[in-house]
Homo-oligomer: A and B are copies of this chain.
Amino acid sequence: MHELTLNDLKSAIRDVPDFPIKGIVFKDITTLLRDGNLFAEAVDYMYDHFREKEIEVIAGIESRGFIFGTALAYKLNIGFVPIRKPGKLPAEKISEEYELEYGTDQLEIHRDAIKKGQRVLLVDDLLATGGTAQAAARLIEDLDGDLVGIAFLIELSFLNGRKALKDLDLISLIQYDSE
């Protein structure tokens, strides 16, 4: 049972026009996070969906993916693996590239972060075109992890990022059908 609905969560997201560049309306989650009940409910909705899926470890994408990923890992009593921007992880690692609007960027994971066959849940705050999540998914597959599902707080449905991540148990708590 939840005291708050998914619409309550959505109402707490703040639209910030022209960030990071003119013409983009940024979905600011800090107005949800700072409210303890809203934050806990968001984590609990993710927990309810994945509690029976025998997840063994959560991978979160730097840095807003750490926010829901670690709280959910704590609730599930499982470990947390950070997927980071280049140059941040200290030990032996692998990397995957993904495309940005202009140019490319990379994500990295420690080579020993995930055991072969380990059941992994990927967590991030927002699904847009899916490029970042796809790169993170490839990292988990490169390590022979068993990527079971992906949880997002927000899904920008009109960008169809879900198509890029088919065959995965993908959930989002809040959807936007248009810009």
The answer for the CA separation of A26 and B114 in the assembled complex, in Å, is 21
Q: Is A90's CB under 8 angstroms from B16's CB? A: yes
- Tell me whether A113 is interfacial, beta carbon within 8 Å: yes
Q: How many monomers of this chain does the complex have?
A: 2
Dominant secondary structure at the A interface: mixed
Which of A34-42, A99-107, A152-160, A171-179 forms contacts with chain B?
A: A34-42
Closest CB pairs A-B (n = 8): A63-B63, A71-B74, A16-B90, A36-B78, A34-B79, A19-B90, A66-B66, A26-B90
Q: Is B79's CB under 8 angstroms from A110's CB? A: no
The answer for the CA separation of A66 and B30 in the assembled complex, in Å, is 13
- Extra contacts besides A39-B80, A68-B70 (7): CB < 8 Å: A28-B90, A30-B82, A30-B113, A39-B70, A40-B77, A63-B66, A66-B70
- Tell me whether A67 is interfacial, beta carbon within 8 Å: yes
- Tell me whether A20 is interfacial, beta carbon within 8 Å: yes
- Tell me whether A116 is interfacial, beta carbon within 8 Å: no
Please list the residues of chain A having a beta carbon within 8 angstroms of any beta carbon in chain B.
14, 16, 19-20, 26, 28, 30, 33-40, 43, 57, 62-63, 66-68, 70-71, 73-82, 87, 89-91, 110, 113
